[in-house]
Amino acid sequence: MAKLYSEKKSLKNLNELEPREETVNFLLSYSKALSVINCNKLKFEALLN
C-alpha cells in the first residue's frame, strides 16, 4: 500500500484537485462559528450558531 501513495502519478493529480464552492463555503462558515475557550489547562470548543 505504501507504494501506491508514493507514486509520481498520484502527486500530479493532487495539483488538479479543485474543491467545489459549496465545500469551501461550508468550511469557512464552520471556522467562523468555531470558538475555542481556554480555561486553565483545559480547552473547550464551542460551535456558535
Per residue in 1-49, pLDDT (tens digit) is 556 665 555 555 666 788 899 999 999 999 999 999 999 999 999 988 6
What pLDDT does residue 17 have? Answer: 81
Please check whether residue 11 lies inside any domain of the structure.
Answer: no
What pLDDT does residue 27 have? Answer: 93
Please check whether residue 9 lies inside any domain of the structure.
Answer: no
What pLDDT does residue 48 have? Answer: 83
Please check whether residue 27 lies inside any domain of the structure.
Answer: yes
Please check whether residue 2 lies inside any domain of the structure.
Answer: no
What range defines the domain where residue 39 resides? 20-49
What are the DSSP E strand ranges found in 1-49?
34-39, 42-47
Please check whether residue 37 lies inside any domain of the structure.
Answer: yes
What pLDDT does residue 18 have? Answer: 87
Domain count for the chain: 1
Please check whether residue 1 lies inside any domain of the structure.
Answer: no
Sign of CA dihedral 12, 6, 24, 37: negative
What is the radius of gyration, based on Cα positions, of the chain? 18
For the question of whether the overall pTM of this predicted structure is more than 0.75, the answer is no
For the record, the C-alpha cell of 7 comes out as 507514486
